[in-house]
A and B are shown apart, each in its own frame.
Chain A
C-alpha cells in the first residue's frame, strides 16, 4: 500500500469509528467532526465528503459547519501544535510579548505551519487557567507563567 492509500484508509477508518459512536442524525454532526479532527489532526477533504454522504447532508452544509468552529481545521497541522491563549487576562500580564516572540522565533504567523512541518502556531480562546497566565499549550502540555525568555528553552524540548 502506498502512503496515499494508507492515508485514505486511515481517514475512512476514522470516519467509520465516529459514525459508529454517534450515529448518523444531523445533531451528531459536530461530535463526529470533533472525533475525526482529534484522530487525524485535521479534517481532510475526503473525510468531509464521506461524512456528507453518510449523514445525507449537502457538502456545503458540512463545510459551513466545519469552517465555523475554531477547533475544527481543514488545513493539515505540523507535528507539534502550539496553542497560544490570546485572551485579555493573559494579554495584560505579558501575553503580547510572548506572542510576538513566538512569531519572530518560528518565523510564522497565526494559523501557519513551518515549512519543515514541525510547528503549527494557532491561537486558542481562553482556557480558563488565567491564574497562571500567560499560557501556551504545546500538544497536550500546558505551560503557565510563560515569559519571552523561556520560549527558546521550551521549544527545544520538542524534536
Chain B
C-alpha cells in the first residue's frame, strides 16, 4: 500500500475547469513524475474549494491545509520545487481571503464566550441543513426519544437559565407553571419584539440562526404540552420575519414541525405574527393583546400567562435568546451551563455595545465579567480616547452607571443594586461630551411616547417629568424642580401597572443620584457643562484665529454667518440652530462652543 506524505486536492468545479484546471492537473502530474515524487505526493480531484470566479484554478494541499489559488500551468514547476521538495509554502500563490467586514459581529473579542451567537455569520440561515450539520435538532431528537416533559423541565431548572428578556425569572419554573395548568389547549410564544433602542441581539439571532429559536420553542412546547406557537416579531425587522418564515417552512418539510414530529406522536406548529410599531408590545400581556388584534395595553397580573394567557389559555412566553440556548443545554447538560456565570446568574448573555466605544456591536460574555472589562477589554475603550462618563444598561428603563462602579461584576442582582437593570442587554457607553440631563430627557421622551396610556401614573407622570426636563434643558429650570422630579420618580415607579411605567423613571432617578451637579448647573447657572443643550450654548467665531475664508458661511444651512472676505466672521446667535456644521468645516479651528 502506498503511503503518501502529502495530498493535493484540485478543484474540478466547472468554473475551475473553464479556467484550465485540467491543464494544471496534467502539469502537476508531469512535474511530480519528473521530480520523482509520484509515490510521495497524491493528486486527487475534488469539488469546489473556493469561489471559482475569484480563486480558480485552485487546490488544497495537506497536511498543511494551504489553499493555493489562481494557478496557471507555468506556476507548477516552481510550486512543486518549493513546496514538495524544499518544504516551503509559496506565499505568492496563497489564496488571499477576501473577507467582508461584519460590522456588528466580528470574530470573538477577548473574554467573549459565544453560545447564543455561535452560529451567527457561520451558517447559511436559509438552509436548515447547515444548522443540522452544526449539531442542530439533535437536542430535539434527544428530547422526543429519551426524555419526559418533566425531565426536560428539570434540566432547564438545574441549568439556572433565567429569562433573557430582562426580568431574569427562572425559565424552568415558568415552564413548570404552564405545565401544571390543566387546560388541553396551551400556547408557546416567542417574544421577538426587541424594542429597546440599541438592542439588536435578537435581530441578529433571528436573521442568522433562526433554527436555534425554532428548536428551542418545539422543546418548550413538548415540555409544557402546547401544540401551537407564535413568534411575535416587530415589523421593524423585515429580514428577520422573512428568515423565520423560510426556516419554519423548511422545518415543516423536514418533519420537524407539524403532525407527529420525528415519529414521536408529538405535534406542534409555528406561526410568525408581526407587530406594528409599539414598544410596549414587548411587555408580555400587551404582546398577547396585540396578537389578539387589540390595542397593546398591558393588564394586571395575576392571572399570569402560564395560567391564563393568549386567548385565555395557559401560555408560556419567553425571549428569543432564552429559547435559543435551550437546545444546547439539552445536548451539553445542565451542569455545563450552570458552571458559567455567578451565584445568582448562570450562563452567558449577549449584549449590544453602542455609543462612544471603539468596537460597537454584539458581544456575548459570561455573567460576572465587570463593566470595566466590557468597556475596555471587549469594547476597546472610549472612541477618540476621550474620558468615560457613564454606561447606560438595560434599555430605556435602565439607569446610567457612573465611573465609580466600573468594577461591578455584571449580573441581574448587581445591576439592580446600583439603580439599573439588565433588561434585554443594550449597553450604551457615554463619554465626557454627553449631557446627562439631556440623556434623561431623551429617554423620557421615548418612554412617554411609547406609554400605552392606560394607567395614570405612567400616562400623566411621565409627561410631567418630561415637561420639567425639557424646561431645564431650555434654560428655564426652577428652584424645586429637582425635588419634584425625585418625588415623581418614586411615585411612578411604585404605582404603575406594568414594567414600562415602573422602569421609566430609572434614567432620571439614576442621573439625579450620580450627576446631580449637572442638573444644578442647568437650573441655577443656566449652563450646560457638557456643552450640549442648544439653548444654553452659543457657537462663536474666535477673533484673531478666523481668516475670513468664508467656508463656514457658505455651508451654514440657515445663513446665520456673515462677514467680508479676509475679515473675522460673525455668527448670529438668534438665527444659529447649533447644528455644528460650521465647526466641522472650519479648517482653522476658529469656532468654539460657549
Determine if chain A interacts with chain B.
yes
Query: C-beta contact mask, B287-299 vs A, less than 8 Å → 1, else 0?
Result: 0001111111000
Q: When the two chains form their complex, are residues B276 and A104 in contact, meaning their CB atoms are under 8 A apart?
A: no
Q: When the two chains form their complex, are residues B293 and A130 in contact, meaning their CB atoms are under 8 A apart?
A: no
Stretch at the interface among B81-89, B562-570, B576-584: B576-584
A100 to B438, alpha carbons, bound, how many Å? 15
Known contacts A87-B446, A104-B557, A130-B200: does B277 contact A97 (CB below 8 Å)?
no
Q: When the two chains form their complex, are residues A101 and B103 in contact, meaning their CB atoms are under 8 A apart?
A: no
Q: When the two chains form their complex, are residues B360 and A101 in contact, meaning their CB atoms are under 8 A apart?
A: no
Known contacts A28-B293, A92-B356: does B276 contact A100 (CB below 8 Å)?
no
Determine the chain B residues whose CB is within 8 A of the CB of A31 once the complex forms: 273-274
Determine the chain A residues whose CB is within 8 A of the CB of B555 once the complex forms: 149
A69 to B561, alpha carbons, bound, how many Å? 42
Q: When the two chains form their complex, are residues B295 and A93 in contact, meaning their CB atoms are under 8 A apart?
A: no
Q: When the two chains form their complex, are residues A125 and B197 in contact, meaning their CB atoms are under 8 A apart?
A: yes
Q: When the two chains form their complex, are residues A89 and B354 in contact, meaning their CB atoms are under 8 A apart?
A: yes
A86–chain B nearest beta-carbon distance, Å: 7
Chain A, range 44-62, C-beta contacts under 8 Å to B: none
Q: When the two chains form their complex, are residues A125 and B557 in contact, meaning their CB atoms are under 8 A apart?
A: no
B514–chain A nearest beta-carbon distance, Å: 17
A152–chain B nearest beta-carbon distance, Å: 8
Does any Cβ of B come within 8 Å of A88's Cβ?
Answer: yes
| Smallest Cβ-Cβ distance to B585: which chain A residue | A149
Q: When the two chains form their complex, are residues B236 and A128 in contact, meaning their CB atoms are under 8 A apart?
A: yes
Q: When the two chains form their complex, are residues A131 and B295 in contact, meaning their CB atoms are under 8 A apart?
A: no
From A70, A71, A91, A129, B200 is in contact (CB under 8 Å) with A129
Does any Cβ of B come within 8 Å of A34's Cβ?
Answer: yes
Chain A, range 4-44, C-beta contacts under 8 Å to B: 25-31, 33-34
Q: When the two chains form their complex, are residues A89 and B197 in contact, meaning their CB atoms are under 8 A apart?
A: yes
Known contacts A89-B197, A130-B354: does B277 contact A27 (CB below 8 Å)?
no
| Smallest Cβ-Cβ distance to B196: which chain A residue | A126
B283–chain A nearest beta-carbon distance, Å: 14
Known contacts A147-B584, A148-B581: does B277 contact A71 (CB below 8 Å)?
yes
Does any Cβ of B come within 8 Å of A74's Cβ?
Answer: no
Query: C-beta contact mask, B445-458 vs A, less than 8 Å → 1, else 0?
Result: 01000101000000
B418–chain A nearest beta-carbon distance, Å: 19
From B277, B290, B355, B558, A89 is in contact (CB under 8 Å) with B355
Question: What secondary structure prevails in chain A residues at the interface with B?
Answer: helix
Query: C-beta contact mask, B249-281 vs A, less than 8 Å → 1, else 0?
Result: 000000000000000000000000111111100
From B103, B235, B296, B579, A100 is in contact (CB under 8 Å) with B579
Q: When the two chains form their complex, are residues A27 and B276 in contact, meaning their CB atoms are under 8 A apart?
A: no
Does any Cβ of B come within 8 Å of A154's Cβ?
Answer: no
Determine the chain A residues whose CB is within 8 A of the CB of B368 once the complex forms: none
The residue among B197, B277, B352 with the most chain A CB atoms within 10 A of its own CB is B197
Q: When the two chains form their complex, are residues B277 and A69 in contact, meaning their CB atoms are under 8 A apart?
A: yes
Determine the chain A residues whose CB is within 8 A of the CB of B203 once the complex forms: 128
**Interface range on chain A: under 10, 10 to 19, 20 to 34, or 35 or more?**
35 or more
Question: What secondary structure prevails in chain B residues at the interface with A?
Answer: loop
Number of interface residues of B (CB under 8 A): 56
B389–chain A nearest beta-carbon distance, Å: 11
Does any Cβ of A come within 8 Å of B104's Cβ?
Answer: yes
Q: When the two chains form their complex, are residues A30 and B579 in contact, meaning their CB atoms are under 8 A apart?
A: no
Determine the chain B residues whose CB is within 8 A of the CB of A129 once the complex forms: 104, 200
Known contacts A71-B235, A92-B428: does B295 contact A64 (CB below 8 Å)?
yes
A92 to B428, alpha carbons, bound, how many Å? 9
A128 to B360, alpha carbons, bound, how many Å? 13
Does any Cβ of B come within 8 Å of A146's Cβ?
Answer: no
Determine the chain A residues whose CB is within 8 A of the CB of B198 once the complex forms: 87-89, 126, 130
B425–chain A nearest beta-carbon distance, Å: 12
Q: When the two chains form their complex, are residues A91 and B442 in contact, meaning their CB atoms are under 8 A apart?
A: yes
Determine the chain B residues whose CB is within 8 A of the CB of A114 once the complex forms: none
From A64, A86, A90, A105, B557 is in contact (CB under 8 Å) with A105
From B237, B294, B579, A65 is in contact (CB under 8 Å) with B294
A86 to B290, alpha carbons, bound, how many Å? 23
Chain B, range 145-168, C-beta contacts under 8 Å to A: none
Query: C-beta contact mask, B347-367 vs A, less than 8 Å → 1, else 0?
Result: 000001011100011000000
A87 to B352, alpha carbons, bound, how many Å? 14
A64 to B293, alpha carbons, bound, how many Å? 11
A70 to B198, alpha carbons, bound, how many Å? 19
Q: When the two chains form their complex, are residues A133 and B354 in contact, meaning their CB atoms are under 8 A apart?
A: yes
Does any Cβ of A come within 8 Å of B199's Cβ?
Answer: yes
B538–chain A nearest beta-carbon distance, Å: 15
Known contacts A68-B295, A70-B276, A92-B434: does B199 contact A100 (CB below 8 Å)?
no
Determine the chain B residues whose CB is within 8 A of the CB of A68 once the complex forms: 278, 295-296, 452
A136–chain B nearest beta-carbon distance, Å: 14
B503–chain A nearest beta-carbon distance, Å: 14
Chain B, range 181-223, C-beta contacts under 8 Å to A: 194-200, 203
B323–chain A nearest beta-carbon distance, Å: 18
Determine the chain A residues whose CB is within 8 A of the CB of B443 once the complex forms: 88
| Smallest Cβ-Cβ distance to A128: which chain B residue | B200
From A33, A69, A101, B278 is in contact (CB under 8 Å) with A69
Does any Cβ of A come within 8 Å of B345's Cβ?
Answer: no
| Smallest Cβ-Cβ distance to B532: which chain A residue | A96
Q: When the two chains form their complex, are residues B292 and A127 in contact, meaning their CB atoms are under 8 A apart?
A: no
A30 to B355, alpha carbons, bound, how many Å? 34
| Smallest Cβ-Cβ distance to B198: which chain A residue | A89
Does any Cβ of A come within 8 Å of B396's Cβ?
Answer: yes
A-B contacts, 24 of them at CB < 8 A, read: A26-B293, A27-B293, A30-B275, A30-B276, A30-B293, A64-B295, A69-B278, A71-B235, A72-B276, A86-B197, A89-B355, A97-B579, A104-B557, A125-B195, A126-B196, A126-B198, A128-B194, A128-B199, A128-B203, A129-B104, A130-B354, A148-B584, A149-B555, A149-B585
Q: Which 9 A-B pairs have the closest CB atoms?
A: A87-B197, A70-B277, A71-B277, A128-B200, A69-B276, A89-B354, A126-B197, A29-B293, A89-B198
A64-B295, A69-B276, A70-B276 provided; 4 other pairs, C-beta below 8 A? A71-B236, A90-B197, A100-B578, A131-B103
